[in-house]
Structure 1
Amino acid sequence: MFERFHEDARQTVVLAQEEALLFDHDHIGTEHLLLALLRQPGTVPATVLARHGLEHDDVGDRIGRLVAAAAPDDLDASALESIGIDLDAIREKVEATFGPGALDREPRSRRDRPWRVGGRLPFTRRAKKVLELSLRESLALGHNYICGGHILLGLLREGEGLAAKVIADAGVDFDTLRQEIRAELG
């Protein structure tokens, strides 16, 4: 499938990895694909999304807030207690096994992480699905290549990843966005 990728689609994959690393993530998700599309001014995705008020820095901030809100550090201890999980007891057991402050250590450097095999981050299941759907979108439009516009159509068609949530939360209508992208792609 990657042999069909136009230069901007290839650049999207490269930039998505950079975006994931900037967030210190161990994967490439739909949110990183969206940010990568927005980092390419003058392309169909960046132009169409900008018309709907979606700019790279603002989207990055929204994603950062959503990711932080979902982080395990932000879990409500009383909610966990209500289902029988005592965080203090867990901390005591971990520290008894691994030493005081074991849960407070900084994460290893990126170079030391086992998931970074060959310098590439793995795609999440949803991100892989988006890339597969971008091929389907390309074929549906009668194109023999995949460009950034097709990837954005794939993001919309997948519809459940963090990228889709950010677009929906911005009040953008998916059907309108699809029509605009398709019109731009010809």
Structure 2
Amino acid sequence: MFEKFSKEARAAVVKAQEVARDEHSGVIDSRHVLVALIETPGPAATAVAGSGLDPTDVVRRLRREIRAGDALDADALAALGIDLGAVRERTDAVFGAGALDRAGAARHRRSPGHIPFTTDAKKALELALRETLRLKSSTIDGGHLLLGMLRDARNPAARALSDAGADLARIRHLVENPAA
């Protein structure tokens, strides 16, 4: 399938790996790919900007989510009687400010080699191929990658766009009809 990727789509996949390294992620999920698409000029970035979202704000939110990773869930811990705020305060007092976050980030550092794609990212890439075929395109471009993410509302990238206030149908329309 990768042989059908346009230069732009290949660049987005490479950039997604850079995003993962920048944010100390052990895997690449669809949010990493979305950051790469928004940060790279092309149909996906144009559609996100044209939907009324501030691309810089969306990227900031996505990177924050990615950095948080599987961060401690304050509500889940509270259900067990653990006050995460108190734990953070005590940890900061003993080990210095941000010690708990630094410990979590160190756990996610990987070697500079291959970073695997999550199931949701692989599915989005497969759905991008389906979108390419549906639109009778000869290559998979960044717009198709975005359409693949939007095709499944449970996809983390689609959820992140929705949480940012995006009208996903509008973004889809802008990708499919760039002159609109």
| CA distance, structure 1, for counterparts of residue 35 and residue 153 of structure 2 | 16
Report the equivalent of 1:37.
37
Instruction: Give the drift of 1:78.
Output: 3.2
SS in 1 for 2:151: helix
Instruction: Give the drift of 1:64.
Output: 4.2
Pair 1:147–1:76, CA change in 2 (3 A): same
* Deviation per residue, 1:17-70 (Å, 9 max, x gap): 1111111110101110110001112x1111111112434431232124445395
SS in 1 for 2:165: coil
Pair 1:75–1:69, CA change in 2 (3 A): farther
Report the equivalent of 2:128.
134
| CA distance, structure 2, for counterparts of residue 125 and residue 69 of structure 1 | 16
In 1, are the aligned partners of 2:31 and 2:62 still within 8 Å (CA)? yes
Instruction: Give the drift of 1:183.
Output: 1.2
Report the equivalent of 1:24.
24
In 2, are the aligned partners of 1:44 and 1:181 still within 8 Å (CA)? yes
Q: Which letter maps to 2:120? A: R
In 2, are the aligned partners of 1:35 and 1:56 still within 8 Å (CA)? no
Q: In the alignment, does 2:5 pair up with 1:11?
A: no
TM-align CA RMSD: 2.9
Report the equivalent of 1:50.
49
Taking structure 2 as the reference length, what is the TM-score of the superposition?
Answer: 0.77
Report the equivalent of 2:77.
77
Report the equivalent of 1:119.
113
Instruction: Give the drift of 1:143.
Output: 1.1
- Percent identical among aligned pairs is 42
Instruction: Give the drift of 1:164.
Output: 0.9
Q: How many residues align?
A: 162
| CA distance, structure 1, for counterparts of residue 20 and residue 69 of structure 2 | 17
In 1, are the aligned partners of 2:58 and 2:164 still within 8 Å (CA)? no
SS in 2 for 1:3: helix
| CA distance, structure 1, for counterparts of residue 151 and residue 145 of structure 2 | 10
The 10-residue stretch of structure 1 (158-167 or 131-140) with the greater mean CA deviation from structure 2: 158-167
Structure 1 residue runs of 5 or longer lacking an equivalent are: 88-100
In 2, are the aligned partners of 1:131 and 1:151 still within 8 Å (CA)? yes
Structure 2 residue runs of 5 or longer lacking an equivalent are: 84-94
